[in-house]
Amino acid sequence: MDLDYPADAEEFRSEVRAVLAEELPAGWTGIGAISGTAEANAFVEDWRATLARRGLLGITWPVEYGGRGLTKLHQVVLMEELAKAGVPAGGHNDTFGIKMVGNTLLRWGTEEQKRHHLPRILSGEDRWCQGYSEPGAGSDLAGLSTRAVADGDDWMINGQKVWTSQAQRANWIFVLARTDPAAPRHRGISFLLVPMDQPGLDVRPIRSATGESEFNEVFFDDVRTPLHNVVGPVNSGWKVAQTLLGYERGEEAATNPILFRAEFDRLVELAREQGLDGDPVVRQRLAQCFAEVEIMRFLGYRVLTGWLAGQGPGPESSISKLYWSEYHRRATDLALDLAGMRAQVVTGRPPLRGFRTDDPGARNTTGSWIGSYLNARAGTIYAGTSEVQRNIIAETVLGLPREPRPAP
């Protein structure tokens, strides 16, 4: 494998560095240096607008939809430079807007849907959240019971979703709903785009162990969306949903290792700060973390090679998701062991987001590491639990017999 970057990627790197030099304040040391949560969130909002203005969001999307038509390799270069500069790669809802529903619309959406929604996602006018999990259908997503019935020119939706991250900031939600209750479990489901600013849609925050309320319950009571807001064929939403989950689990396989490497460097610094960098057991655990981050990087290159060859998300998405989430649990265990009794007293602000690592440039405060530790547990659950990922890998990669499925 040739790991050297081609000339056009290095030219783009120079562009990104120039933008950072022009837009960041003098003496900038990273968003982690901002001590207040409100101030840090305000910076994220302003910085997100800057990225949009400078054409650094959705760079792999076609030009006609607001993107720049660049490759996944350019996206890796962008992430490398943003991580080094200690700035986020987008806003709070961009995981759902750009990475998930945006990429899914490029694959399944009508031309009208693409031209309407994609530019509004990049501009920030529309902010999205994900309506998948339900109280009785988490890992068993096909067991969902939220219903959508055609009523005149609209779908009328009734039901409940749960663990809906960032719903409190969103004005659109993509929803899996059962549109044919007589069909087998994985059929009769449709993928709907639903505006949230309407009567009957109720968002209720859930306070988590971190003390934050990033998750929400969302209730639908005769909520409406036009019939044309179905993505893909009616009653074939399961295929659309699997495409989106592939993007959720694997689209960042080549960029995630950049953030995890930045966090690992901070973990080494924490060991030095605590005077434990010479301890043989600590050194062994750090070496293990380093090896795993490097393996993650090469796994990411393998996934990236597939993307550059025009392949869509496959079982590599599950391998990547399982690998980084289990790694992160072990790495944050080590962080709290290094902090020792100091971890009993929380100082410094928590991470701004509940996904993967803290923001680049975060300080070695107990608030940062404890927040990352708690979020690492969630990482083995969201986007498909580790158990689900192992089943997918066993069945699709190793060819093992499928586990027994409930009767339809």
C-alpha closest to that of 229 among 272, 266, 190? 190
**Buried b / exposed e across 239-251, counting CB within 10 Å, b at 16+?**
ebbebbbbbbbbb
Rounded to whole angstroms, the Cα distance separating 66 from 125 reads 13
**80 is an active site residue:** no
3-state SS assignment for residue 176: strand
* Share of the chain residues as helix, strand and coil, in percent rounded to the nearest 5: 50, 15, 35
Rounded to whole angstroms, the Cα distance separating 156 from 170 reads 20
Phi-psi region of 260 (alpha: psi -120 to 50; beta: other; left: phi over 0): alpha
3-state SS assignment for residue 383: coil
- Cβ neighbors of 111 (< 8 A, separation 6 or more) are none
3-state SS assignment for residue 245: helix
- Cβ neighbors of 298 (< 8 A, separation 6 or more) are none
Query: Which spans in 226-344 are helix H?
Result: 237-250, 256-273, 280-308, 316-339
C-alpha closest to that of 352 among 50, 3, 16, 88? 88
Phi-psi region of 222 (alpha: psi -120 to 50; beta: other; left: phi over 0): left
C-alpha closest to that of 59 among 101, 98, 88? 98
CA atoms within 13 A on the CB side of 183: 19
Rounded to whole angstroms, the Cα distance separating 187 from 302 reads 33
Cα distances (angstroms) measured from residue 259 to each of 31, 53, 176, 256, 317: 14, 24, 31, 5, 18
Q: Which of 248, 252, 263, 316 is catalytic?
A: 248
Rounded to whole angstroms, the Cα distance separating 321 from 387 reads 11
Contact 324, 260 (CB under 8 A): yes
For the annotated catalytic residues, the residue numbers are 248
